[in-house]
Amino acid sequence: MTKRILLVDDDQDILDIAEIAFQKLAQWEVFRASSGLECLEKAKTEELDVILLDVSMPDMDGFQVVEALQADPLTQEIPIVLLTARALPRDENYYQEIGVVGVLRKPFNPLTIWRELSEMLE
């Protein structure tokens, strides 16, 4: 069964690269959002298997988006993986506390990102 992912990042280049990786290499169905607000809207209207969410965005940061997704009964069960350039090993406990299933670091390898994310969902 084809997986469905929502990619959320305000950087269009990141969205383009990640979309190609998930569509072409993993044959996933890809949805895109370039802001936290757009993510919240799409998460309610699409049946998603996972959300890959950038932490640093202008309108709402990734942590605010996680909080809003988890507070909504329509979206609280969707697994969330954060995408960040600033993750430190000491942050791992915090990520677990807020309920994300994992963290991928930027820059990511477009050839392996889909596999790394898939392993987090197992």
Cβ neighbours of residue 52 closer than 8 Å, sequence gap 6 or more: 5, 6, 7, 8, 18, 81, 83, 104, 117
Q: String of b and e for 11-47 (b: at least 16 CB within 10 Å)?
A: eeebbebbbebbeeebebebbbbbbbebbbebbeeee
Under CATH, which number does the domain 4-121 receive? 3.40.50.2300
pLDDT of residue 87: 67
Q: How far apart are CA 38 and CA 42, in angstroms?
A: 6
Give 22-49 pLDDT, tens digit per residue: 999 999 999 999 999 999 999 999 999 9
Mean pLDDT along residues 45-71: 96
Q: How far apart are CA 64 and CA 16, in angstroms?
A: 24
pLDDT of residue 94: 84
The predicted model scores a pTM of: 0.95
Mean pLDDT along residues 65-75: 98
Contact between 3 and 115 (Cβ < 8 Å):
no
Q: How far apart are CA 62 and CA 26, in angstroms?
A: 25
Give 13-23 pLDDT, tens digit per residue: 999 999 999 99
Tell which residue, 101, 106, 100, 69, has the closest CA to residue 87.
Answer: 106
Give 74-109 pLDDT, tens digit per residue: 999 999 999 998 866 667 788 888 999 999 999 999
